[in-house]
Structure 1
Amino acid sequence: MMTKSELVAALGEKQAYIPGKTVKLDFGGEGTILLDGVNNRVTEDDGAADTTIKVSWDDWQALANGQLDGMTAFMMGKLKVEGDMSNAMQLQGVLAKLKS
């Protein structure tokens, strides 16, 4: 299991963001990660975003490892989306970049 700092580094290295869009991953007490496709960077900043995805750190790990499906997590209420839903749908491609 990787730490949040390791995840930020991996996401940045793989350019895992949506061009022209900002998506915030909100892990509650674990903090946030901002996938900034406007400035082409990934940070631990907590700023405004086009889409905010709220998910626990444990559920995020399960999603990233393929143990939990994104749609299932959404339907079960383990993953909440605020803002532009189409950006959330594109996040599966972002997760795929982490595995490559």
Structure 2
Amino acid sequence: MSNAIIEAAVAALSEKLDGSDFDGSARFEIEGEGAVMVDGAGVRAAEDGEAADVTMSAEADVFQEIMAGDLNPTAAFMSGKLKLDGDMGTAMKLGGALS
């Protein structure tokens, strides 16, 4: 696991979600790197086995494109670049907060 990539993901998500009203829990699995958890406590590196309302997984480059605003999360999902497991409503709320 690359701590630098996870730390950058935590920073990017924290900045994107600052001031948002996202009230669920989401886990981002960055393939080959680790995971990031977003919930009421904020954004942090996820612990192994930590559960969330929705788990999203993608390759690191796809995640970076979403964070940079170059790839819409819905478009990433529809094209198969972003996989979801769990509550679609929570994923939609988070997608709205990231836009």
- Size of the aligned set, in residue pairs, is 92
CA distance in 2 between counterparts of 1:92 and 1:42 reads 15
Q: Output the CA distance in 1 between the equivalents of 2:83 and 2:46.
A: 19
Identify the match of residue 90 of structure 2 among 87, 91, 99: 87
- TM-score, scaled relative to structure 1: 0.76
CA distance 1:32–1:9, change in 2 (3 Å): same
Q: Which runs of 5+ in 1 are unaligned?
A: none
Residues 23 and 85 of structure 1: CA distance in aligned 2, closer, same or farther (over 3 Å):
same
Q: What percentage of aligned pairs have identical amino acids?
A: 37
Counterpart contact for 1:17–1:35, Cα < 8 Å: no
In the TM superposition, residue 4 of structure 1 has moved relative to its aligned partner by 2.4
What CA distance in whole angstroms lies between the structure 2 residues aligned with 1:8 and 1:25? 10
Once the two structures are superposed, what CA deviation does each residue of 1:30-68 show, in whole Å capped at 9, x if it has no partner?
10000022xx22211231111001111100111122221
| Unpaired stretches in structure 2, ≥5 consecutive residues | none
* TM superposition score normalised by structure 2: 0.76
Corresponding position: 1:31 with 2:34: yes
The runs of at least 4 consecutive aligned structure 1 residues that moved more than 6 Å come to: none
Q: Provide the rounded CA distance (Å) in 2 between the counterparts of 1:4 and 1:15.
A: 21
The alpha carbon displacement at 1:10 in A equals 4.6
